[in-house]
Chain A
Amino acid sequence: MVLDIISAFKDAIVFSSLLTLLTIGMTLTYLTTKVPNFAHGSIATVGIYFALITTKLLGLNIYLGLLPSFFAGGVVAILQYIVILRPLSKRNASITTMMVATIAFDFLLLSGLNILADYLSKSFLIISRYFLLKGFDFFLMGERGVLLISPILVIAITIALYLLLTRTKFGVAMRATIENPPLAGTVGINADLVYIVSWFVAGGLAGLAGCLLPLWFIGNPDTGTFILISIFAAAVTGGLYNIYGAIIGGYTVGFAEIFLIRYLASLSDPFGAWIIPYRPVIPLLAMVITLMLAPRGITGIDVKRLRSMFRRNRNA
């Protein structure tokens, strides 16, 4: 097997873009409510099934599923916050307790998605497991639409988030709440509303990513759970303290994952295609390396200090 750089690059573009959308959401809810959400991947799977329903059941253009997926993901995330996390946090639950609660919610969501998959296949005779919706994409200059749409979506969302956080009163209030929730409360900001909006946006972005995913990758009820490792790795690598870090992290981990696994699989003995199932090791390694070398992630690296260290070494 030879490493096909062009095809790996396309794979990496789509995968990293979707991963970035997911990482932005994960970072946002981590920044506001300080909870690492283990159900974040499965919220994306909700979008995957919205894509399936939009195309196979309703016979519509898959891109029409984007908006409903956004809302569905957002609503699931808000429910997760209001029904599970908020009551726990009101009772002064620890972060660990909240984290375990998100794992429990992930199981619930996963069961729901499995039921939905069975229902779709039994009642409508739709292939609802390990499906690919490649054929529902449009073509632009011989390339599949999602190759272009997914990075464009990342750019658009980044600009929208930047404008929200710097140009609007509510966005500045979100930054204020992230930094100092009690002070934000005392100036009259409704911190709970900030949290609800953050969860909605995070879930919505996960829904968007999920909706586009089956255009390029295989969708299944547990797809989101598998991506979860990459999301955590991307969030940590980029720097969990900063939304823009999610973009750097998403593309770094996404490209590393696709290129490294494709490269290792293309080698002869002792490497080869058998290594593909071990792909999750790559994001885990990225996480370990980041935590060892730059615990605050790429965006947390103090460039000035690094430069002065470098200069000192050169002078010595």
Chain B
Amino acid sequence: MRLIRIEGLNAGYGKFQVLFDISTNIDSKKMTVIVGPNGSGKSTILKSIFGLTNIYSGGIFLNGEQITRMSPHQIARRGIAYVPQVGNIFSNLTVRENLMMSGYTLKREEVRAKIPEVLEYYPVLKECYNRRPSTMSGGERQMLAMSMALMRKPHVMLFDEPSASLSPKISAQVLDEIKKLRDDMGITVVLVEQNAIDSLKCGDRAVLLVSGRVAFDGPAQELLGSPELGSMYLGIKAA
């Protein structure tokens, strides 16, 4: 079942167009992986879903409802959570305040019930509960960002390069956590990744973006097994 439908999307920043006629679907309870070279517009797609870009034409629909020109806070209330590539936590707020803010749309009792639950899921955060992220490691910060997204009981989560700048071991761990979100919680995941091979291996669908256009849209396995696309854009060596 498709949850998010993107139709003929043309978007960019001010007058600078980045995305050209993007059309694709995001399936419910599946993991869609968006890959592509640097600057191809991967982050811009996620930002567009959240109303953070200038959309010139086209539409984005969530469960059939048009969300194209809504404010970010209205979109957030519809159960989408987003972990941006940069600036994905509030560094001037303590971990506690960060979690509190990420549950902004929930009732006070719900936040109070949800925080221990999220901390159980990411135990590292318990030790830094009253600290500011500036005193935490990169991995801890990424966990905080993911736990913030979880606070809202979302049914869709958008991740923008969650494992960038993390060591290989930690980034494998992060990918593992994301897989668990889909498998254990039934959350629809959209994952943008540089590390194409590992993410494609656990993804269901793949979208390959080149210069702001869709170059491939289909099963992740198919893109993995396609030597010409793989070697051209993703650095996958043909076997």
Contact = CB atoms under 8 A, between A and B. Distances in A.
Interface in B57-91: 71-73, 75-77, 81-82, 84, 87-91
A189 B101 CA distance: 8
B102 interface: yes
Interface in A176-212: 176, 179-180, 182-192
Contacts of A134: none
A202 B97 CA distance: 25
Interface in B128-159: 148, 152
Interface string A158-184: 000000000001001101100110111
B104 A185 contact: no
A92 interface: yes
B150 to A, nearest CB: 12
A183 B87 contact: yes
A183 B84 contact: yes
Given A172-B101, A175-B93, A180-B87, A185 B77 contact: no
A173 B52 contact: no
Nearest to A193: B73
Contact of B101 (A92, A173, A191, A192): A173
Given A172-B93, A175-B93, A185-B52, A190 B100 contact: no
Contact of B102 (A182, A185, A187): A187
B221 interface: no
Contacts of B47: 182
Interface string B89-124: 111110001001110110010000000000000000
B93 A176 contact: yes
Contacts of A189: 73, 101, 104
Interface residues of B, number: 31
B121 to A, nearest CB: 18
Contact of A182 (B72, B89, B97, B104): B72
Given A182-B72, A190-B73, A176 B50 contact: no
A179 B101 CA distance: 13
A186 B78 CA distance: 11
B14 interface: yes
Nearest to A186: B82
Contacts of B152: 187-188
Given A92-B14, A173-B101, A183 B90 contact: yes
Contacts of B102: 187
B84 A176 contact: no
A185 B14 CA distance: 19
A19 B98 CA distance: 34
B190 to A, nearest CB: 14
B72 A186 contact: yes
Nearest to A180: B87
B76 A176 contact: no
Nearest to A183: B87
B33 to A, nearest CB: 21
A173 B75 CA distance: 17
Most chain A CB atoms below 10 A, which of B76, B91, B105: B76
Contacts of A92: 14, 54
A94 B89 CA distance: 26
Given A189-B101, A189-B104, A179 B84 contact: no
A173 B104 contact: yes
Nearest to A182: B52
Contacts of B100: 169, 172
Nearest to B13: A92
B45 to A, nearest CB: 15
Contact of B84 (A169, A186, A191, A192): A186
A175 B152 CA distance: 20
Given A175-B93, A182-B50, 15 more contacts: A169-B100, A169-B104, A172-B100, A176-B90, A179-B91, A182-B87, A183-B84, A185-B52, A185-B73, A185-B76, A186-B72, A186-B76, A188-B104, A189-B73, A189-B101
The 5 A-B residue pairs with the shortest CB-CB distance, nearest first, are: A185-B72, A188-B76, A188-B105, A188-B104, A190-B73
6 contacts: A182-B52, A183-B89, A184-B101, A185-B52, A185-B76, A189-B73
